[in-house]
Structures are given as structure tokens and as C-alpha cells.
Structure 1
């Protein structure tokens, strides 16, 4: 473990978890720089592409923690926070970047309200159709999203879906969840809530964490004046044509654990979301061909959701 930069007590600890992330992590670390009052803790989940050595060589101020195995996202984050000393903690994906002015805006908001969680508007590769934040994944919110009703939600919040749309975020919004790709909160709140749930290897832990934040009487804020970028799915160096349905399977499990009123409620959620994904697959097949990446992905997500419910 590198111990550079441990002399001064930091105000902020930025925690990243890497797995074969050498191709993207340099942009994240360059964006952070060597910020005064900030320490960077990087947990490497047994990368085989030299990520840990690359970071040690190029960024000696970064605290590198080698986990000894691929622990997954939540366990890696929790391990990193245990090594952190800041009074505020920011989670940052290795394929995400945030500039100094935007980080300052998040930190200033957290200083004013250390009992809340703050997230920037996360910009994704164009075209950006959704925002990685929104409302808890109830059956209605999922239906609103996949049916297209959420497009009418700019002035009617009850029509908004699980994911907010860019036009619906013009000022700070109190939301039910925001992506764990970039979140900032006080260490005190993190410790009170016990960190991320380690139930899942990856995906849904950010929604579940924000659920506990809200359930404990605190708020999750999306601040559009702060911006970050996220190359969705690029952090682990996998083939870009791979399909991992864990995000939707885990989301359904989260719904079943926290929101469902029995098996019938979970079955209804499954039907709504699987049908929505299948409709997206059909639309992509018409527009781009049945073998297009989008058609294949949406079809695989829908099928995995149905199979896992049996």
C-alpha cells in the first residue's frame, strides 16, 4: 500500500475501485489532480492489466489498496472507505471524471448540509436519453419509463419514471436515488448507515444505499450545476459486446426486498419491465437491424429477467 500524502488530515477522501481499469483510470485521476485537503484511495480488485502498478508509478500521492481478489464494487468501496480519513467521502468510478469546479460545488453543498447525499449531473456518451438518478423502482415508475409516459413528466412529477430525463433537471432536485459513479456525503452519515450493502457483487447497491438514506430521514440531492462524465460500462476492460443483465435482475431483487407487497407484486414488476425491455429490443431491431448491439442487449436483458423469476 502506498502511503504518500498521509501527513495532512484531509477534508475529503475520494474512493475508486478498479478492476482491469488501466485504460480509463488515468483520466479520472488526472481530473482530480493533487487537490489540497483531498486524499485519493484506490482499491484494486486483483487487476491483471497492471492497474495498481500504473497508479503507483504515475500517481504516487494515491493510496493504493490491493484487495487480494475481485471483491466486487460494494465490498471494494467499503474497503476503501475503511482506509480513508476524510470527513467527507466521494465515490468515483474509474471511468468517470469530475473537474475541480464541479467537485467544489458538491463539497460546498455537503458542508452546508452534512446530513444529505449529493450527486452531480452525470453526462454519458451521446445521445444522452436518461439521467442516472430518479425515483425508486416501483412498478408504476418502471411502467412510466418504458411506456414513454415519463416524457410528459417535466411539469407532472407523478409521470416521471425510475430514470429522470435531462429536460426534467433544470435546478437541484431531491431524488430517491443517484448513481454510485459519483456520490459525495459526510463520513458521519456513511458510518451511521454502514456503507454499501454487500448483497450484490455489482449493481443496485447505489439504489439500495440511497433507499436507506431516505428511509433514515435524510435526502439525496441531484445538483445540475455540478457535472461529471461517465463512460458507462467501460471501467473493467471487458469486451464491449458482452451483455451483463445483473443490473436489472438485482434491481428486481431490490424491489422485492423493499417495495413489493408479495409475490404477485414482484411478478407484476417483472412483466412490466421484461415487456418494456422486449419492446425496446423490437424497436432497435426495426431501426438498426435484429443483430444490432441495442437489439441484442435489450433482448438479453428481458430474457434474463424472465428466466431468473422462474
Structure 2
């Protein structure tokens, strides 16, 4: 039986992005059902799609619940076998969906797939949010093949091998419907950032695979919703990284990992202070306060989740990058 695919673009006041990127999605996604899930926009996004792309379904969410709730609400009424969660600032290319479908068809243990993600503004280089597949270090810091912190590699074909990775980017995340619900959907307490790492972590703990393929290529603008210069991004990244740890790290490691991560966060906060980035310094502090506020509910979620010990890299990417100067994935 052929697998059905739903490409779902989450939109919030993204009229300009829809005008730029939706035409290519429509042109190159003939094998999928297309939807724009609108997070209670106040611009003309919905009317633009209705007037220009009648083949695209409109899902109108009642509130702007961010990435996680926005997608959870939007996907609730869909019945396709595969969901592709696609950012509104992503340019897709011809033949981008068939390689993804082929992976799911050929390996039943695969629950999520990510394409190669290149930088829309600098197409020769990998893009920050996913690059050639994501990993996580021993203290919960995410990194990618093609991206270590802010160091983005040029795409020279060095990551053109299809392989299992730890997490797939939320900028273009293909996930099986059954597994999406099996592991409990996206965690709405995250609101934005790193919820894709959390759901991929849960997929691993349930015995599933996450795979990167270079045979599907997309180009991501990045920061179209929230710039890296915005303290809110700092807040969500630091807080949600702690969420990931407390929910998913095995019991025999959780206390030490959390303590060391908090020390490293303190160092990062002091670095922001010396760089006169006072709003980012405050964001780290607020991230930790929010983590403590959510601690009880996170512990309840933790109890319900299976955990495996071989869940992440044994290296510290912070030490490798800042201590040893290793700026590329191949150096690690």
C-alpha cells in the first residue's frame, strides 16, 4: 500500500514568506497533500493562500501556541501516514519527497527523516537548523554534521552518505503519524525551539530510528521567526535544553549531567556579561527560573518515558570546540 504524505506549513503572520516559498512547495510536492496551519495570524496570510492556492488546505488554529501546540492542533485532524513539518521559510527542490518516502518504505524501524538543509542566503553552506543531521553531546548541547555551534561548514559533499542520526531538524521534519502519537506528540511546554530534539530522543527510547538523507535537499532562511540576536531565542534554547535532559537522561546519569550542565550555563552567562550582552545574560537566568518552575511537571513526564543508556555522544562538544578548537564535525 502506498504511503500517504501530508506537508504541513505552520504559519504566523508570514504572508511575505508564503508568497516567496509556497509556490515551490506546490510545484514540487505533487505526491503529497498540502496544508497551511495558521496560528491565529492577523495579516492576510490565510486569504492569500485561499485566493492563490485552492489546492492547499487551510487549518486555522484558534491561538498562537507556538511550534509545538501549533503542530499538535493542526495534525490532530489529519490521517496521512507521514507528516512533513515544514517551516514557512524553507525552499524545497524538485524530487525532495520521494527519497524520504523510500527510507520509510525500506526500513520499518525508521520513524523520522531529515533532508540535507542548506543555507538559503548562502547556498554553498549548511544551515544552522539541522545541516546534515543532528546529534547531542553528553551535557545536552546540540550539534550537527556540518555545524558546530555557530561554525557552518561549506557543503563539499562530505556528508552525502545516508545515515542514522540522533535528531532531525524541525525546519523540515518528516515523521510517521503512528510514531508521532506513540511517543506523545510534541511537548507543548517548550513553545518553541528544541522540541524536535525531545521528540527524536523519545523515538530512540521507544526503539525507533532517525535518519538523514542527502538525496533530498531544501534551503532554509533561518531566524525568520526569531533571530539569533533575540534574547528570547537564548531563553528558549537554554531552558528547553534543560527540559530535554530532565525528561530523557537515564537515572544513573541525570544528577551529574544536570549539575555540570548548570555550571556550563553559568559560564555562558558570564561570557554574555563580559560581552555586554546583558539581555542574553538575563535570558539565561530566566531560563533556569522557568526550568525550576516546570520541574514538577517535567518529573511526571519523565516517569512515563522509557530511557536507554546509549542515547547520546560521550563527548563534550563545548570542550572540543572551545578547548581544542575543533570547529568541524569531522574533527570530533
| TM class, shorter-length | 0.7 to 0.9
**Residue in 2 aligned with 1:69?**
63
Q: 2:48 aligns with which of 51, 54, 57?
A: 54
Q: Are the equivalent residues in 1 in contact too, given 2:13–2:43 (CA < 8 A)?
A: yes
| 1:18 and 2:8 correspond | no
1:300, distance to aligned residue in structure 2 (A)? 4.2
Report the Cα distance in structure 2 between the residues aligned to 1:37 and 1:55, rounded to whole angstroms. Answer: 19
How far apart, in 1, do the equivalents of 2:24 and 2:279 lie? 35
Residue 102 of structure 1 aligns to a residue whose secondary structure is coil
Which residue does 1:258 correspond to in 2? Answer: 248
* Worse-superposed segment, 110-119 or 56-65: 110-119
2:91 to 88, 97, 119: 97
How far apart, in 1, do the equivalents of 2:269 and 2:161 lie? 30
Structure 1 residue 164: deviation in Å?
9.8
Point out where structure 2 has 5 or more consecutive residues left out of the alignment: 290-332
CA–CA distance in structure 1, aligned partners of residues 199 and 68 of structure 2: 10
Conserved 8 A contact 1:45-1:76:
yes
Runs of 4+ in 1 over 6 A off after TM superposition: 160-165
5+ residue gaps in structure 1?
1-8, 155-159, 291-295
Distance 1:239 1:109, change over 3 A: closer
TM-score, length-normalised on structure 1?
0.75
Cα distance in structure 1, aligned partners of 2:151 and 2:114: 14
Rounded to whole Å, the distance in 1 between the matches of 2:11 and 2:127 is 27
CA distance in structure 2 between the aligned counterparts of 1:169 and 1:66, rounded to whole angstroms = 38
Inter-partner Cα distance in structure 1 for 2:152 and 2:50: 39
Aligned to 1:271: 263
CA distance in 2 between counterparts of 1:130 and 1:16 reads 19
For the 8 Å contact 2:129–2:169, the answer to whether it is kept is no
Q: Does 1:183 align with 2:173?
A: yes
Q: Within 5 A, what are the aligned runs for 1:144-223?
A: 166=153, 169-223=159-213
TM-score (normalizing by structure 2): 0.71
How has the CA–CA distance of structure 1 residues 281 and 222 changed in structure 2, closer, same or farther, with 3 Å as cutoff?
Answer: farther
Q: CA RMSD in A?
A: 3.3
Q: Which residue of 2 aligns with 1:119?
A: 114
Q: What is the aligned length?
A: 274
